Structure formats: C-alpha cells, structure tokens
Amino acid sequence: MARLSKQEFAWALYDWAASAFALSILAGFFPIFFQSYWAENLPAAEETFWYGILVALASLVGTILAPWIGMFADTGQSRKKWLVCFAIFGMGCTCALIMVGRNNWPLAGTIFVFGTIGYYGAFIAYNALLPCVSPSENRHFISGLGFAMGYLGGVILFVASVLAVRNFAALGLASETAAVHLAFLVAALWWLVFTLPLLLLVHEPHRPQSAIPVTESISRLGRTLREILRNRSVLLFLIAYWLYIDGVNTVISMASNYGKLLGFSTGTMLRTLILAQLVGVPSTLLVTYLAGKHRARPFLLAGIALYLVTVGYAAVMPTAPIDIFGYSVSSLYLLGFLVGCAQGGVQALSRSTFSLLIPPDRTASYFGVYNMLGQYAALLGPLAMAIVTRVTGSPRWGVASIAVLFIAGGLVLIQLGNLESEKRAVVVETVKP
C-alpha cells in the first residue's frame, strides 16, 4: 500500500463532513423533532404515515435523479463542482429547518426531502472522485478510511448535540427547541468546514466543458446502461450489490422499529447506534487494510456472511440482559457490535471494488447507477419483513427473512469471482508458447 497523500486524506475527510447530516439529521433529530414539534397535532398513525411518505419520496426522487447527476458530473470532468453544489444545497436546507414553525410539518417535510437529495447527490460525485485521488493499490483502504471517518465524526457531533439538547439551560438556551435549532446550525457548519479540504486539495483531470442538449444527455445515459449490460463483470457486481446492500440498508432503516417492537427503550437504542458507529471505525480500517494487502472479494464475502450471523442473532436474541465476560448487558448491544463489525467493511469494499471495474473517465456516470441501486436501496428487505411479519405474526420471522438477500447477493458475488477466474485462465492459456 502506498503512503497516504494529502488528496486522499482530504477526500476521506468529506465523509467526516457529511456525517453531520447522516447521523444528526437523517437518523437523529429530524425524526424525533418531526414527531414532537412539526407534527405535534397529528394523530400518531397519521404522523407515522406522512413521515414514511416523506422518506419514500426522498428515495424515489433520488433514485430517478441519480443516473442523471452522475452523467452531468462527468461533463467536463466537473465532479468536484457538482459535489460542492449539492453539498451547499443540503447545508442550506439544514439551516432552513430552523425557520420552520411548530406544526408546519408540510414545509419541514419538503425541506427534508430537498436536503436528502442534496446529501445523496453530493455523494454520487464524491464516490466518483475516488479513482481520481487514489491509485488502485490504495483504493480499498482509502474507501474504508472515508467510512471510518464518517462513523467517528458522526458520533462526535451527535453525542455533543444530544448533550447540548439535554443541558440546554447550562448553555444559556431558552428551551430544548432552541437547542435542536442550534444542532441543525452546527451540523450545517460542520458539513461546510470539513468540505473545504476536499475543495482546496483534491484535483481532477480537466477538459473543456460544453453544454449538453437533452437528447444527447439521454443518449449518454443510454450508452452507460448498454455498456453495463454488455460488461458481465460490472453487471454481476451490480446485481450482487443491489441484493446484499438492500439487506444492509434494511438492517439500518428498520433497526429502531424492530427494537421498539421487542420492547427496548429509546436510550438503549441510541447507545446501540453509537456503539455500532464506534466499532465500525477500527473494524472498517482493519478489513480494508487487509483487503488492500490481499484480495478484496474474500473479505467482502466474509462481511456478507457476518451479516447473515447478525440477522440470525437478531431473530432469536432475548429481550432480557445477557452475560458477557461476567457483565450483564443489553442483548441489543451485541447486535450493535455485530453490525459495527460488518457494516463498514461491506460498504467500503463495495465502493472500491466497483471503482476498479469501471472506465476511469466516466466514473460519475457509473456511480450514478451504483448509487441508484445502493444508496437508495431499501425496498425488498422492508417489504419482505412487512409481509413475513404480517403472515407469521412475529417480527422475529420478519427479520430472519432478510437473510435471503445476503445469501442471494453472496452467491452472485461468488459467480463474479468464478467468471474472473475463467477470464484469467483464458489469458494464461492464450499467452502460452
């Protein structure tokens, strides 16, 4: 592995920057504040319905836009400019939430949808910059470094924000609402400040930019899709990724709901979330370092296998505390530990492996499709959980159904490995005297 460069570190630091929105807004304060402040007068069932609609709408719009964002970001090699534009848009939406008054949930929801699009749109261009900043021998570790820094930065800011909200009077704030507003503002500033190193230090090959007519943009997008269909390695990887990352995203998105159904307290679930993020830092760095030293696919398959173990444990775990090394701890903490061990490695190695399979001059176009399948994917898993839980009457059987996605994704990934082995064998046979 080559020495870490300033460009690589500045690129990875953006994950630290954007974690402010991911953990503090998406996973943390927005869902809680939406329920208790912006939709305070709505009945519980109606509030849950509209929140679900907002999340689904953000995902749907993002899914539609992702390939187009990637295609335009490749124009004139302007990936960094598109990253900055979408990031600033997301920061602006985060700040705008401060201006939304009590019970004005339609406006808060609209801003949330736009902010989510800004966050994910920036990540398409960010992912596409990875081949520009890192040589192939460093690619897996640098991808892992980004995710590890995101986990750590997100936890630091989230914990600080939670402490500020709980101790608002000590900070001279009038109410918890004022403290949450401060948390929104700090999240936007955090996002901005730690984006600056990427803006100043990361360089990408540049060529003159020209306007693209709508007909040509459609043609370019069609070209990318045709290339993916013809390139069996890329196609198989994307199919595998879509399957197992749907399982990963389902675990993330449905964890709180599952914990509530089993009777765990909100405090326990928040501590479990923080534990998973903290464990994800060293585990991601270790796995991606080893993958860079050896081969990535065995470690990616190991991460998928660990997710199978995690889902199996979630399906049978007790609700009473368990004994670990003589200490009585919540069984949910063990689940968080397993997720932390598996999550970062799978996400980071997926990103770096895909970057090695695609044309280096059109990374944003390909990552647009990648993000469409991955970043917005949480469809099959929640659907399977809902149906199986409804049929069996048990959420445990529902969570067990997610295992099918990891098994299917792993099998397709193995098939990709077999295909590449066959290609290498053909090459060796061809060059024999």
pLDDT at residue 379, as a whole number: 65
Mean pLDDT within 32-42: 82
* Residue 194's pLDDT band (cuts 50, 70, 90): very high
Q: Give the dihedral sign, CA 289/234/206/128.
A: negative
End-to-end CA distance of the chain: 34
Centre a 10 Å sphere on the Cβ of residue 391 and count the other Cβ atoms it contains: 11
pTM above 0.85, yes or no: no
Q: In whole angstroms, what is the distance from residue 423 CA to residue 428 CA?
A: 9
Pick the closest to residue 301 from 423, 406, 401, 405 (CA basis). Answer: 406
For 152-194, the DSSP string reads HHHHHHHHHHHHHHHTTGGGT-S-HHHHHHHHHHHHHHHHHHT
Each residue's pLDDT tens digit, 349-404: 998 898 888 887 777 778 878 877 875 556 677 777 778 877 888 888 888 888 99
| Rg for the chain, CA atoms, rounded | 22
pLDDT at residue 210, as a whole number: 52
Q: In whole angstroms, what is the distance from residue 333 CA to residue 323 CA?
A: 11
* Residue 186's pLDDT band (cuts 50, 70, 90): very high
Q: In whole angstroms, what is the distance from residue 198 CA to residue 380 CA?
A: 35
For the chain, helix (H) and strand (E) counts, in that order, are 18, 2
pLDDT at residue 429, as a whole number: 38
Q: Please give the mean pLDDT across all residues of the chain.
A: 82
Partner residues linked to 327 by β-bridges = 324
What are the φ and ψ backbone dihedral angles of 324, each rounded to 5 degrees? -125, 115
Q: Which CATH superfamily is domain 6-201+216-431 in?
A: MFS general substrate transporter like domains (1.20.1250.20)
